[in-house]
Amino acid sequence: MKDLSFYVGVIGSIISVLMFLAPVRTFWRIIKHRSTEEFQSLPYICTLLNSSLWTYYGITRPGSYLVATVNGFGILVEAVYVTLFFIYAPTKAMRAKTAIIFGILDVGFLGAAIAATRLALEGEARIDAIGFMCAGLNIIMYASPLSAMKTVVTTKSVEFMPFMLSFFFFLNGGIWAFYALLVRDIFLGKCKAIKECCEFNGRRSTTRTANYLLKGKDKTLELKSFVLHFLQFSYSLTQTIGR
């Protein structure tokens, strides 16, 4: 079982790396156009916070080096993404908004969480407290791409809610939920299971919205959305049967 959990963890780490790198094409476009356009910074700020806390959790909890390693990589990648939002924000208002959210979440909240758990708690109590925070923030992180829903409706396009980012979010949650079952990590398992529900329902809502808005205009996009929806449903069904 330990060997299986190790290999599943390695696969999960690879998928996590792909998830972190999924927006590269989006940011290449941002650099090329020298503007973040209508892309939202919130998902990347939340992912940076999430990766930071999971790295802290992986360092604190014995035997969780895979969690710490992959999320440490995530910190570096997401920091680059957030920096690009500061550099290429088209208006001062958008740059200020990004700075405020970054300051509250990635500086204020993260600093307070680390300080509180280091000074007030120790042992299992510290691990449990960090785990609860990670589980809660995971829900926020995986729901954060839904902030682009307004833009999807306004622009009548799903281009500002990147397909690959949502797709790898889904894969990442599934493999780490399985890993959590193998190593009996309640925090990792619960938050990833909830995340699967968020991604499935969020992508389904976006698919319906996009198909309605683009009906008769882009059949290829509609087909891609349908295929993804079908794969997500199939995965959820097999997981339910497996239980």
pLDDT digits (tens, 9 = 90+) for 149-170: 666 667 666 666 666 667 777 7
If one compares 98 and 210, the residue with the highest pLDDT of the two is 98
What per-residue confidence (pLDDT) applies to 161?
64
Domain range list for the chain: 2-195
Give me the DSSP letters along the chain: -HHHHHHHHHHHHHHHHHHHHTTHHHHHHHHHHTS-TT--SHHHHHHHHHHHHHHHHHHHSTT-HHHHHHHHHHHHHHHHHHHHHHHH-SSHHHHHHHHHHHIIIIIIIHHHHHHHHHHH--HHHHHHHHHHHHHHHHHHHHHGGGGGHHHHHHHT-STTS-HHHHHHHHHHHHHHHHHHHHHT-HHHHHHHHHHHHHHHHHHHHHHHHHHHHTTTT-HHHHHHHHHHHHHHHHHHHHHHHH-
Work out the pLDDT band at 9, boundaries 50, 70, 90. confident
Q: Give the pLDDT confidence of 104-118 residue by residue, as tens digits.
A: 999 999 999 999 999
Quick one: average pLDDT of 211-236? 45
* pLDDT single digits (tens) 116-132: 999 988 888 898 888 88
Q: What is residue 80's predicted lDDT score, i.e. its pLDDT? A: 96
